[in-house]
Amino acid sequence: MSKPVRRIGVFTSGGDAPGMNAAIRAVVRTSIHLGIECIGIRRGYHGLINGDFIPLDFKSVSGLSRRGGTMLYTARSEDFKAKEGQAKAAATCKLLGLDALVGIGGDGTFRGLLCLAEQGLSVIGIPGTIDNDIACSTYTIGFDSACNTALECIDKLRDTIQSHERCSVVEVMGRHAGHVALNVGVACGATAVLVPEQEVDYEKDVVEPIRRSRLSGQTHFMVIVAEGVEGGAYGVAKRITDETALDTRVTILGHVQRGGTPTSRDRIAATYMGYEAVHLLSEGQSCRVVAKQGNEYTSFDIHEALAMTKGLDPQTYTVMRTLTGVQ
C-alpha cells in the first residue's frame, strides 16, 4: 500500500502552451477538494533544483483559466539531465515535504519525472504542448489555441495576397510533427500543405496544386509549411518562384502561436487533465501520463507512453490531399 499523498508540487516545463494555467488551476483546486496541499514550482526543473516555489491556495489560481502562458513560468534545464541535478531536485522535494509532483509539458518533461520517481516520488505527467505530438494522447493542451491563432493570422494574410494576386508561404510550428500545419491547412483551405512526416515531391505536392488552382481561375495561393519541412518556408518559396514565376512571399508565424487566450477546448481539456492527475495520485498511482482518447480521459504508464509513436491523423491527411487535389 503506497503512502497517502499530502503535499503535491505542480510545475510547467519545456515550451509553454495556452491552457497550462487552466491545468495548474485544476490541479490546485482538485487537491484542495481532496484535502491535499499544493505548491507551485516555478521555472520547471530549474526551479526544482533551486527551490524556487510559491504556495498555491484556492484564491491564488482564481481567474487563471483564461490567461495564456504559465503563471509558474517555464524553462529547459540542462543541469537536471545530470544525476547531480536530479539529486538536488529530489532534495528540494524532501525539504518542501512533497510526496508527489505533477509536471505539465512534453516528452522531455515526462522523462524527467521518471528520474524523480526513481528517487521515491509519486509522479504524474500532463501533456501540454501546442504540437499535439504526445503519442498516448489524441489531444495535448495548447493545440487548438495555437491552430486558431495561426488561422487568424492566415485569414488576414489572405486578404492581402488576394488583393495583390500573390502566393503566400506560411510557416507554422512543428519541427518534428505536422499536426498544426495539417489542421490549419484544412481549416484555411490551403492550396498545398507540407509536413515533416512526408518527403516533399515539389512537382506533385506544390506546383501541380498551384497550377490546377490557377487553371480554375484562382489568382492567389496559400501554401502552409510546417517548420520541420526540409528547406523551410524560404526553400519552398524559392522552388515556387523558380517553377511558376509567381510573386511569392514568406511569413513565419513563429512564437505568436504559443500565446493568447486559450480556447474553450484547451481550457476544458486542461481542466479535466489537471483533475485527473490529482485523482490518480490520491488513488496511490504514480508514473502515469494523463491522456485523452476520443472523448474519454484516461492514463498511461510513462514508460509505455514514451515508447508509443504518433502519426498524422490519416483521415485529416486524406481530406487535405483530396481538397488540395494531390493525387
> Among this protein's residues, is 131 annotated catalytic?
yes
User: Smallest gap, in angstroms, from Cβ of residue 15 to ligand ATP?
Assistant: 3
Window 127-166: contact mask with ligand ATP (x via CB under 6 A): --x-x-----------------------------------
* Contact flag: residue 76 with ligand ATP (CB under 6 A): yes
Closest by CA position to 263, among listed 142, 176, 182, 137 = 142
Which of 16, 99, 131, 133 is catalytic? The answer is: 131
User: Smallest gap, in angstroms, from Cβ of residue 125 to ligand ATP?
Assistant: 9
* Contact flag: residue 14 with ligand ATP (CB under 6 A): yes
Q: How far is it, in rounded angstroms, from Cα 259 to Cα 16?
A: 8
CA atoms 282, 288, 289, 291: torsion sign: negative
Full strand arrangement of the beta sheet holding 296-301? 53-55, 37-41, 7-12, 100-105, 122-127, 288-293, 296-301
Q: How far is it, in rounded angstroms, from Cα 105 to Cα 74?
A: 9
Are 3 and 100 contacting, i.e. CB atoms less than 8 angstroms apart? no
Interface residues for ligand ATP in 30-69 (CB under 6 A)? 45
* Contact flag: residue 174 with ligand ATP (CB under 6 A): no
Name which position in 11, 12, 13, 226 contacts ligand ATP (CB under 6 A): 13
Name which position in 11, 53, 73, 80 contacts ligand ATP (CB under 6 A): 80
Q: How far is it, in rounded angstroms, from Cα 128 to Cα 115?
A: 19
Name which position in 21, 30, 31, 77 contacts ligand ATP (CB under 6 A): 77
User: Smallest gap, in angstroms, from Cβ of residue 46 to ligand ATP?
Assistant: 7
User: Smallest gap, in angstroms, from Cβ of residue 55 to ligand ATP?
Assistant: 24
Q: How far is it, in rounded angstroms, from Cα 135 to Cα 194?
A: 21
Q: How far is it, in rounded angstroms, from Cα 57 to Cα 65?
A: 15
E strands, the chain, in order: 7-12, 37-41, 53-55, 100-105, 122-127, 167-172, 192-194, 221-226, 248-252, 288-293, 296-301
Nearer to ligand ATP, 208 or 227 (CB): 227
Interface residues for ligand ATP in 90-129 (CB under 6 A)? 105-109, 111-112, 115, 129
User: Smallest gap, in angstroms, from Cβ of residue 176 to ligand ATP?
Assistant: 9
Q: Active-site residues: which are they? A: 131
